[in-house]
Amino acid sequence: MTMLEKTIRNIHRPNTTVYEQAKERLRRQARPAGSLGILEDVGARLAGIFETLDVRLTHKIIVTCAGDHGVCAEGVSLFPSEVTSQMVYNFIHAGASINVLARHANARVEVADLGVAHDFPADLPIFHKKVGRGTKNLSTGPAMTREEAVKSIENGIEIIDELVKNGPVHLLGTGDMGIGNTTPSTAIIACFSHLPVSQLCGRGTGIDDNGLMKKISAIERGLTCNSPDPDDPIDVLAKVGGFEIGGLAGLVIGAAANNIPVICDGLISTAGALIACKLAPAARNYLFAGHKSVEVGHRFMLEELNLEPLLDLQFRLGEGTGAALAMELMDAATRILIEIKTFEEVAIADAQAQP
């Protein structure tokens, strides 16, 4: 049995009894039923995962997976591929957007090299999980081999295993860095949704109309020449994905196997989550959507996963920024569940109980 198969087998459903107890407590709280919206279900789901009504998310980690993409040769991004490695160094020096927002959420940022086209020093404090120095050009052939696709997922699982060995992880946020990676991410949702690429494709880093047409064309050619099988998520990842997207999928699967809730960021992180949940449907029980990106394909990914985003801030940055901000709402959901008094506890008449 492979590492991937073994990890998937270790994913179990959260405790439904505690989940129902949480739903009942929320219903009996001294306020109109359902008045706190999405946060009520978030709190109940977390209670089921942790098997307690009093959840404490004191150890939060955001893992930002990095990788480069051969499809950048098609002019699909505003920035050159060299920016990927430059941004990795920026993360390490705590100068990026994710570093600022993670500090605000009291979360630690970890960076993982899954496939950057740059050789980082061995002593750089990142997860050295490189599968290759960038993918091949998906518009002219497979982005990677099937073996590399599996390796990228298993490397993501290894990251979770290493994190857990070094201390508790109560909440995992997923983020990405990879110039051009909105292109493979859009190709992934196009494959699973069967919708036209033109309906799914966004402007990524801010490309103009000409760049958008190049991007749509590259994805369409990639889907045509590779014929990825939507019933085989690994084939989809191999044909039109990215190394960091595979790593993100592995993070979700590994976290679910360790009973760790995952809050994913935008388009690229959700592409990884989509691959993960196609491979391991039970992982969906541990998955939360941090926000809704302005990248149009993200909405269709969320629909495919049946996830309601916690925020809509018109973000399109990645890195894990949306996940970082949403972590504070996850904290709020845990406090709502346990700290708001019930009608019985404060001796207020329950309108729901009146004849």
Residue 354 has pLDDT above 60, yes or no: no
Query: What's the pLDDT at 351?
Result: 65
Q: What is the pLDDT of residues 137-168, one digit of tens each?
A: 999 999 999 999 999 999 999 999 999 999 99
Distance CA 54, CA 88 (A): 37
Q: How far is CA 253 from CA 9, 229, 239, 294, in A?
A: 10, 21, 20, 26
Name 262's Cβ contacts closer than 8 Å, sequence gap at least 6. 171, 172, 173, 174, 251, 252, 255, 256, 273, 286, 287, 288
What's the whole-model pTM score?
0.96
CB 128 within 8 A of CB 62: no
Residue 147: the pLDDT is 98
CB burial of 200-213 (b: ≥16 within 10 Å; e: otherwise) equals: bbbbbbebeeebbe
Answer whether residue 355 shows pLDDT above 70: no
Q: What is the CATH number of domain 3-55+337-353?
A: 1.10.1610.10
Mean pLDDT of 95-109: 97
Both structure tokens of 279:
């491979």
- Per-residue pLDDT band for 206 (boundaries 50, 70, 90) equals confident
Task: Please pick, among 51, 319, 328, 345, the residue that the annotation labels catalytic.
Answer: 319
Mean pLDDT of the chain: 96
Q: How far apart are CA 33 and CA 29, in angstroms?
A: 8
Question: Within its chain, how far is the Cα of 289 from the centroid?
Answer: 8
Domain 60-330 indexed as CATH 3.40.50.10210 = yes
Instruction: Give phi and psi for 264, each to the nearest 5.
Output: -90, 155
What are the C-alpha distances in Å from 106 to residues 9, 59, 327? 32, 8, 9
CB-CB contact of 175 with 258 (8 Å) = no
* pLDDT tens digits, one per residue of 235-285: 999 999 999 999 999 999 999 999 999 999 999 999 999 999 999 999 999
Q: Give me the amino acid identity at 186.
A: T
Q: How far apart are CA 243 and CA 69, in angstroms?
A: 9
Helix (DSSP H) and strand (DSSP E) numbers for the chain: 15, 6
Matching CATH topology for 3-55+337-353 and 60-330? no
d(CA 306, CA 218): 28
Going by pLDDT thresholds of 50, 70 and 90, the confidence category of residue 353 is low
**Active-site annotation holds for 220:** no
What is the domain partition of the chain in residue ranges?
3-55+337-353, 60-330
**CA distance linking residue 177 with residue 18, whole number of Å:** 37
Torsion of CA 181, 193, 306, 262, to 10 degrees: -30
* Confidence label for 347 from pLDDT (cuts 50, 70 and 90): confident
Cα separation, 113 vs 264, in Å, equals 18
Average pLDDT over residues 201-212: 91
Query: Rg of the chain's alpha carbons, rounded to an integer?
Result: 20
Quickly tell me which residue has 């394909």 as its tokens.
297
Per-residue pLDDT tens digits for 78-96 = 999 999 999 999 999 999 9
At residue 4, does pLDDT exceed 80?
yes
As a whole number of angstroms, the distance between CA 28 and CA 340 comes to 10
Which residue is associated with the tokens 């605000």? Answer: 104
